[in-house]
Amino acid sequence: NVLLAGSVNLQRDPRNGRNFEYAGEDPLLAGTIVGHAIRGIQDQKVVSTLKHFAMNDLETARNTHSANIEEAAAQESDLLAFRLADQIGEPGSVMCAYNKINGVYACEDDWLLNQVLKREWGFKGWVMSDWGGVHSGAKSALAGLDQQSAGEVFDKELYFDKPLRAAVASGEVPQSRIDDMVHRLWRSIIAVGGLDHVPQPGPIDYDADGLVARHAAEAGTVLLRNERNLLPISKEIGSVAVIGGHADAGVLSGGGSSAVKPPGGNAVIPGQTEEGWPGPKLYQPSSPLNEMRKLAPRARIEFADGKDRAAAVALARSAEVVVVFANQWAGESFDQPSMTLTDDQDGLISAVAAANPRTLVVLQTNGPVRLPWLRQVDAVMEAWYPGARGGEAIARLLFGEVDPSGRLPVTWPRNEAQLPRPAIAGSGMGNKSPPALDIDYDIEGANVGYKWFAARGFTPEFAFGHGLTYTRFSYDELALRLDGTKLNVSFSVRNDGERAGTDVPQVYLTLPTGSTTPIRLLGWQRLLLAPGQSQRVTVEVDPRLLASYDVAARGWKIAGGTYGVHVGKSAASLLKSAELMLPDAVLD
């Protein structure tokens, strides 16, 4: 009756091995997505966690490294994401992280668990540890930890047994603290209906679940590039070459505790090297190749695995359109050492594109990777790890059965030099070199992702929020309404194209000159419009997004000045703007 879900750590680095579990680099975006996921889980009478609290933003040496950051920056970034998810989802439990924060283990951090979470945020649920994240009994209990998770297996000692019993007997830990632990746990299970509706084993409707998974993959896949309108592919096309990525068998999944074993078994087993944790590599048995053949039965759609480069090039040269699948596996407990695709997939793509520029690359990755061949190919689609019906979703997007509507939840750097930390010491699976003991997140502070790029004047490969469709949209009639500290932003969206499509207009705030943070996401709307249809949209802005966190006052303050409010297609494509005058204000 507890699901270890609700991962809301911000994606500060594209090489983080668990990015595929998270919901983006922006606190509003991540907190909103994860908060609603928690609500959905708990609507089913199951407690959801919110994790990994907090600053677990890299996997390398996650059990020992200290994530160092000033409190104001933490409150405006990672902690804001957690707070939003907490307010929206009301999770029954929060899971504290492995890492230290400013030198203190998260699971024995009185400031984090007691002061911020339980007192200032008023969290009513219980705090559980991550598996192997406990280092003490009395200290952790007094700091706010309520449950040691699987300590008999993962921790050096079962600290919440004999050591905690002794601490209670000696008076170091009051009995009232133990009572509070029990109260918090049972209160949360009862609150979601878990006691009245005890989960019972039953059949799983894989077909219904598969449709949900397919819809999620279709909605989340991002069309990054589409030159010469390569996509959508006509179902009447004569020939298509499909190359690489085990597209004949299935779609890739991420590794670790979140990996889902497909009911039909692993679609790709031969040649596995990552047999141990966090492997093996799992491929969901949903073949893009087979699904493409179903949608275009009269076309000659042939496959080459890409291992024989000459054969792949010959197949590409013989086809009208080429679809190359490029994969980058990632998993819990390690970070990628670089943004470069493994196994010289870049070389394969370049060779194929040289033979046939009508090439599309479908990426199945944990996040942004280097794209040295970008301008050699006509189209690029980021499918992430697309899940149980991922092959079907990809095929439907390629042939226009559904319109691409995903938008990047992260900024796509050109290379590692644009990152706050160009190198991660000790990163890479099996790397034995010494990792960093301290991670300096004060380099970027609250300026995560697109805010970092704006502050530094960097131009990314693709901006946060970017994503193309098979139609065109325009915005007009931007209007602002300010009532105290409550801001509403209204505007019109029109489909100017010839086919129905989904748009995701985004609202941004630019802050006064000299502000530490130059730009913030204020909100967005997702809407489906028929050709020629127009719709009025209103975005209600959380006042905290207009403010900065004041550590001394333990709250949020708006600095008076002239701000800009913008509607656009991404953080770098702001199409309509209005000026906003804000007075000094303290938020309740």
Cis peptide, bond prior to residue 219, ω within 30 of zero: no
- What percent of the chain stands above pLDDT 90? 96
Tokens of 458: 């960097």
d(CA 75, CA 225): 35
**Crossing angle between the packed helical segments 309-318 and 345-355, to the nearest 10 degrees:** 30
Neighbours of 53 (CB within 10 A): 28
Residue 271: is its pLDDT beyond 80?
no
Q: How sure is the predictor about 243, in pLDDT bands with cuts at 50, 70 and 90?
A: very high
- Single-letter amino acid code for the residue at 550: D
**CATH for 208-398 (2.60.40.420, 3.90.1150.10, 3.40.50.1700, 3.40.50.2020):** 3.40.50.1700
The helix/strand/coil state of 556 is strand
At 273 the pLDDT is: 53
Angle at 222 between CA 217 and CA 223, to 5 degrees: 125
Report the candidate in 268, 272, 271, 221 with the shortest Cα–Cα distance to residue 247: 268
Residue pLDDT, tens place only, 108-166: 999 999 999 999 999 999 999 999 999 999 999 999 999 999 999 999 999 999 999 99
Q: Where are the beta strands (DSSP E) in 17-58?
A: 47-53
Query: Which residue carries 């994969």 as its tokens?
Result: 327
Instruction: Determine the length of the chain.
Output: 588
**Helix ranges (DSSP H) in 326-446:** 345-355, 390-398
Residue 490: is its pLDDT beyond 70?
yes
At 417 the pLDDT is: 98
Q: Report the mean per-residue pLDDT for the chain.
A: 97
Residue 544: is its pLDDT beyond 70?
yes
Report the candidate in 271, 251, 274, 488 with the shortest Cα–Cα distance to residue 365: 251
d(CA 348, CA 354): 10
**Pair 410, 464: CB distance under 8 Å:** yes
Q: 571 φ, ψ to 5°?
A: -65, -15
Residue ranges covered by each domain of the chain: 2-191, 208-398, 473-586
At 276 the pLDDT is: 81
At 274 the pLDDT is: 58
Residue pLDDT, tens place only, 35-63: 999 999 999 999 999 999 999 999 999 99
At 199 the pLDDT is: 84
Q: 331 φ, ψ to 5°?
A: -165, 170
At 277 the pLDDT is: 87
- Single-letter amino acid code for the residue at 374: L
Determine the average pLDDT of the residues in 73-85: 98
**Helix ranges (DSSP H) in 344-440:** 345-355, 390-398
Residue 453: is its pLDDT beyond 80?
yes
Residue 431: is its pLDDT beyond 80?
yes
Residue pLDDT, tens place only, 504-523: 999 999 999 999 999 999 99
How does strand 251-252 pair with strand 283-284? antiparallel
- According to CATH, the superfamily of the domain at 473-586 is Immunoglobulins (2.60.40.10)
At 99 the pLDDT is: 98
At 209 the pLDDT is: 95
The helix/strand/coil state of 218 is helix
Tokens of 555: 């709250």
Q: Of all helices (H) and strands (E), which one includes residue 529?
A: strand 527-529
Fold for the domain defined by 2-191: TIM Barrel (3.20.20)
Choose between 393 and 270: higher pLDDT. 393
Residue pLDDT, tens place only, 378-401: 999 999 999 999 999 999 999 999
d(CA 209, CA 464): 30
Report the candidate in 339, 363, 342, 344 with the shortest Cα–Cα distance to residue 424: 339
Q: How sure is the predictor about 264, in pLDDT bands with cuts at 50, 70 and 90?
A: confident
d(CA 12, CA 411): 10
Using alpha carbons only, how large is the chain's radius of gyration in Å? 25
**pTM value surpassing 0.85:** yes
Determine the average pLDDT of the residues in 160-183: 98
Choose between 358 and 198: higher pLDDT. 358
d(CA 497, CA 578): 26
Q: How sure is the predictor about 272, in pLDDT bands with cuts at 50, 70 and 90?
A: low
Determine the average pLDDT of the residues in 90-113: 98
Residue pLDDT, tens place only, 317-340: 999 999 999 999 999 999 999 999
